[in-house]
Amino acid sequence: MHPLLQGVKLVAFDLDGTLVDSVPDLAAAVDAALSELDLPPAGEIKVRDWVGNGSLKLMERALGDALGEAPGSERLAAVHERFLHHYGLEPNARTRLYPGVREALDGLCAAGMPLGLVTNKPQAFIAPILEGFGLAGHFGLCLGGDALPQKKPDPAPLLHLARHFGVAPGDCLMVGDSRHDIEAGRRAGFRTLAVPYGYNHGEPVAASRPDGLVESLAELV
Ligand SMILES: O=C(O)COP(=O)(O)O
Ligand SMILES: [Mg+2]
């Protein structure tokens, strides 16, 4: 077991970029929404750097990039709806689990560790994605970016999770790929563990100084 898990009674995982490489499907849905406006596709390389603050922010970045100026709120809302539509059709078509994820989640569950999921992705997509990988049953509570008024890097979703399980924040571990996960974890009073392979706006997540860093989640177990 990883030393950071010593005494930990609840592990909270981020989803995109931590458990699943979802950018191929996110980019496909972004590009489908843009193409309806005859705008050029963004592609996976750009989308990778735009993921992390939820789907509305993703589309704001995509539309702003395509238009060359900040989009108006009505136009953004309409394109965001089209993104949600396209993404919901096939959220798992090309999404893959990262190596070590299944071993880690299976191992933690087998050891009786309660697990939660805190993502900035809309709640509606969590179950289809986890069910697609046979992992929905591993998590006692999953919170999407629209589950509460606040999303990461605000600590509120993590504190909600800790309260739900009746665990003190100091006995919880947040595992994520981006500065938003590490900041939310730190502000909530959780321990923090980062993975370097995900999405962090093109910056190394180590710059956020997590308490630990693992190349693969298999190192947890
Ligand atoms: O949807 C996003 O922007 C990011 O989602 P995450 O919090 O699971 O990384
Ligand atoms: Mg992430």
**pLDDT tens readout for residues 55-109:** 999 999 999 999 999 999 999 999 999 999 999 999 999 999 999 999 999 999 9
Are residues 102 and 201 part of one domain?
A: yes
What is the distance between the alpha carbons of residues 166 and 14, in angstroms, rounded to a whole number? 20
The domain that holds 105 is classified in CATH as: 3.40.50.1000
118 lies in the same domain as 197: yes
Give me the pLDDT at residue 129, please: 98
Tell me if residue 20 falls in helix, strand or coil: strand
196 pLDDT band, cuts 50/70/90, is: very high
CA 46 / ligand 1 centre spacing (Å): 15
Does 122 share its domain with 199? yes
> Degrees (nearest 5) of the Cα angle 207, 200, 83?
165
| pLDDT mean over 182-210 | 98
Pocket lined around ligand 1, Cβ cut-off 6 Å:
14-17, 51-55, 58, 119-121, 178
Instruction: Give the E-state strand segments of 119-211 in sequence order.
Output: 141-143, 172-176, 191-194
Give the tokens for residue 156.
């509120």
* Mean of the per-residue pLDDT values of the chain: 98
The whole-model pTM stands at 0.97
Question: How does strand 10-13 pair with strand 115-118?
Answer: parallel
Per-residue model confidence (pLDDT) at position 1: 83
Catalytic, 181? Answer: no
pLDDT of residue 78: 97
Question: What is the Cα Rg of the chain in Å?
Answer: 17
Ligand nearest to C-alpha 26: 1
In this structure, are 121 and 47 located in the same domain? no
Give the domain-ending residue among 89, 105, 121. Answer: 89
Domain CATH for 46: 1.10.150.240
Q: What is the mean pLDDT of residues 12-21?
A: 98
> What interface predicted TM-score (ipTM) does this complex get?
0.97
Q: Across residues 24-28, what is the average pLDDT?
A: 98
**Whole domain around residue 206: which residue ranges?**
3-22+95-220
